[in-house]
Amino acid sequence: MEILKTIKELKSKLILIDGSLGFVPTMGALHKGHLSLLKSARKENEILVASLFLNPKQFSPDEDFHNYPRNIEKDISIFSDSGVDFVFMPDEDQVYPKGFSTFINNLEGGVFEGEFRDRHFEGVLTVVAKLINIVNPKRIYLGEKDAQQLFLIKKMLEDLNFDVIVRPVETIRESNGLACSSRNSYFSRKEFVDAGNIYQSLLKVCTLWKEGENDSSRLKQEFQKNLEKLDDMEIQYVEIVDPDTFKIINSLKNIKKSILIVAVIFKGIRLIDNIILD
C-alpha cells in the first residue's frame, strides 16, 4: 500500500494503472461502516483507492471540526488490512489552494441536514466532485447511513454528467443497533447503550407501518414517543421521504418504498439515522 499526499504524486501512480478502480472516500476515524465500504470495493475492483481527508468545508463554524476524532496510525493500518492499494491523504491546501472559490451547490439541499448544517452539502458535494476528478474511479462506494448525502451525490453525478458508478453500501450497526459513526466515540458506555434506542425506535415505526399504519404523522409520532423517555434527547427532524426524490411523503398508502430519516441530538452529540420502509 502506498500513501500519497499530493495530487501530483497520486496521479503519477494512477496513470500507470490499467484496470477497474474502486474508490472509498472517508474522513478517517475508521469504524466497521468504513470497513464494509472497503470490503465491497475490494471485491469488485482490481485497484482500490481510499482517501482520508477531514474536509473543513463541510463543518459549520459551530460544529466539531477541531475535536473530530483523529487516529491516523490506526486508520492506516485498517486501510492496509483491507487491501487498499493507494491512500490519498492530502493536506488542506492541496484540496483548497489559496484563492479556491468554486463550490457546488444543489438547490434541493437546504432541507433536513441542509437546514441544520449551514453549507454542509456545499462542502460535501465540492469535495466529492474534486476527489472523483482526481482519482477518476470506475466505482465509488458510499454509505446508506448518510441517506441524504447519498441522494445528493447521485444527483450531482447525474446532473453534471460524471462517468462513475455509485455503489451504495448498507448501514453497519453496533450490537445494540446504533449506527456505527466516528462520533460514537464521544459517548460514555451508558450513553452508548442508551443511544441504541434510536434504532429500536426506527424499528418500532417499521413494525407499525408493516401492521398497516399509512399515516406519516402517526408513524413519526411513534418515533418521538419512543425517544421521549430519554434524558437530554432532542429530535431535530423526523420525516418520511421518497428515496428517489427526497420529497416528503404524507400518506404511505400505495407507496411501496420510502425512507424514514431522523436527526437527533443526544447528550450533546448529533446523530443521524434512517430506515427503509420497503
Q: What positions carry a catalytic annotation?
A: 34
- Number of residues interacting with ligand AMP: please give it, by CB under 6 A: 17
Cβ at position 166, least distance to ligand AMP in Å: 10
From 8-16, 29-37, 107-115, 218-226, span contacting ligand AMP (CB under 6 A): 29-37
Interface with ligand AMP (CB under 6 A), residue from 75, 85, 146, 194: 146
Q: Does 36 bind ligand AMP (CB under 6 A)?
A: yes
Q: Does 148 bind ligand AMP (CB under 6 A)?
A: no
Q: What is the DSSP letter of 186?
A: G
Q: Does 82 bind ligand AMP (CB under 6 A)?
A: no
CB of 87 closer than 8 Å to CB of 6: no
DSSP code string of 247-265: -B-SB-TT---EEEEEEEE
Cα 136 to Cα 22, 24, 130, 139, 164: the distances in Å are: 9, 12, 10, 9, 8
CA R_g for the chain: 19
Q: Does 34 bind ligand AMP (CB under 6 A)?
A: yes
Cβ at position 30, least distance to ligand AMP in Å: 8
From 67-75, 101-109, 172-180, 200-208, span contacting ligand AMP (CB under 6 A): 172-180
Give the nearer residue to ligand AMP in terms of CB position, either 36 or 258.
Answer: 36
Tell me the residue type at 109: G
In this structure, the strands spanning 86-88 and 139-143 are unpaired
Give the nearer residue to ligand AMP in terms of CB position, either 53 or 209.
Answer: 53
3-state secondary structure of 123: helix
From 66-74, 81-89, 168-176, 240-248, span contacting ligand AMP (CB under 6 A): 168-176
Q: Does 169 bind ligand AMP (CB under 6 A)?
A: yes
Give the nearer residue to ligand AMP in terms of CB position, either 37 or 240.
Answer: 37
- The alpha carbon dihedral of 248, 251, 256, 261 has a sign of positive
Q: Does 171 bind ligand AMP (CB under 6 A)?
A: yes
Residue 97: CA count within 13 A, CB half-sphere? 4
Query: Rounded to an integer, what distance in angstroms lies between the CA atom of residue 31 and that of residue 36?
Result: 9
Interface with ligand AMP (CB under 6 A), residue from 14, 27, 84, 249: 27
Cβ at position 182, least distance to ligand AMP in Å: 6
Q: Which residues contact 226 (CB under 8 A, 6 or more apart)?
A: 197, 200, 201, 204
Interface with ligand AMP (CB under 6 A), residue from 4, 10, 14, 26: 26
Q: Does 179 bind ligand AMP (CB under 6 A)?
A: yes
From first CA to last CA, the distance across the chain in angstroms is 40
Residues that bind ligand AMP (CB under 6 A): 26-27, 33-34, 36-37, 142-143, 145-146, 169, 171-172, 179-182
